A and B are shown apart, each in its own frame.
Chain A
Amino acid sequence: QKEVEQNSGPLSVPEGAIASLNCTYSDRGSQSFFWYRQYSGKSPELIMSIYSNGDKEDGRFTAQLKASQYVSLLIRDSQPSDSATYLCAVNSNNNDMRFGAGTRLTVKP
């Protein structure tokens, strides 16, 4: 069983719409959850982190963490510049961050 799973996509949304990205993880002891964005040919960069159940908002981004081992990322008012691969990451132990396979998002003008 994969440790971190994401819907494979690709996900395509029109400009201005809400993009919804989902992630589930297998380790109930996981403590910290991250969303990284990766543009083609570039390295991953952190856009959101969340450590407790509930919602966390940062500008157009909202991360949601639920007790059912589910974490999501909502992008409001999607822009073409949001087109990238979004990687969910889970940290259960020190020095050990595990990534999902990523969801490719395309925002069409």
Chain B
Amino acid sequence: DTAVSQTPKYLVTQMGNDKSIKCEQNLGHDTMYWYKQDSKKFLKIMFSYNNKELIINETVPNRFSPKSPDKAHLNLHINSLELGDSAVYFCASSLEGGPNEKLFFGSGTQLSVL
């Protein structure tokens, strides 16, 4: 069983469209994250949730809206997609979000905006 699974793995779409990426973890973790990795491999935190509550909301355009229906799921909806949104988006989870905890990553979603 995959611990952190995200879908789809690849997403190719036109500018201006709206798309969603789904993430689920079956580890029983309380904390989930969205990271964006650009073409230079820089992995930047976007959001973190602890038990469905938004904790970290970095300087991300409000076209990006995370939703956590329960602590096992954290979805990312993106409105009005732009070329600069092209990147790999990683979902991750950790047990309670404590500072000594490692992150478990999903396999990533490669988003290409044309």
Interface segment, B13-21, B39-47, B65-73? B39-47
Query: Which parts of A66-93 form the interface with B (CB within 8 Å)?
Result: 85, 87, 89, 91-93
B99 at the interface (CB under 8 A from A): yes
Task: Report whether B99 and A101 are in contact in the complex, using a CB–CB cutoff of 8 Å.
Answer: no
Task: Report whether B102 and A92 are in contact in the complex, using a CB–CB cutoff of 8 Å.
Answer: no
Q: How far is the CA of A102 from the CA of B40 in the complex (A)?
A: 9
Q: Look across to chain A and name the residue whose beta carbon is closest to the beta carbon of B110.
A: A41
Q: How far is the CA of A51 from the CA of B42 in the complex (A)?
A: 23
**B103 — which chain A residues lie within 8 A by C-beta?**
44, 46, 89, 97
Q: How far is the CA of A96 from the CA of B31 in the complex (A)?
A: 10
Q: Given contacts A38-B41, A102-B43, are A43 and B99 in contact (CB under 8 A)?
A: no
Q: How far is the CB of A108 from chain B (nearest CB, A)?
A: 20
Q: How far is the CA of A62 from the CA of B90 in the complex (A)?
A: 27
Q: Is the interface of A mostly helix, strand, loop or mixed?
A: strand
Task: Report whether B97 and A95 are in contact in the complex, using a CB–CB cutoff of 8 Å.
Answer: yes
For A32, give its contact among B35, B48, B99 (CB under 8 Å): B99
Query: Which parts of B52-89 form the interface with A (CB within 8 Å)?
Result: 55-56
**A94 — which chain B residues lie within 8 A by C-beta?**
50, 55, 96-99
Q: Look across to chain A and name the residue whose beta carbon is closest to the beta carbon of B105.
A: A43
Query: Which A residues contact B (CB, under 8 angstroms)?
Result: 31-32, 34, 38, 42-46, 49, 51, 85, 87, 89, 91-99, 101-102, 104
Give 26 A-B contacts (CB < 8 Å), ordered by A residue.
Answer: A32-B99, A34-B102, A44-B43, A44-B105, A45-B105, A46-B102, A46-B103, A85-B41, A91-B99, A91-B101, A92-B99, A94-B50, A94-B99, A95-B31, A95-B33, A95-B94, A95-B97, A96-B45, A96-B55, A97-B33, A97-B103, A99-B35, A102-B41, A102-B42, A102-B43, A104-B41
Query: Which B residues contact A (CB, under 8 angstroms)?
Result: 31, 33, 35, 40-45, 48-50, 55-56, 90, 94, 96-103, 105-108
7 further A-B pairs in the complex, CB-CB below 8 A; given A87-B43, A95-B94: A31-B99, A45-B105, A46-B102, A94-B98, A97-B33, A99-B44, A101-B40
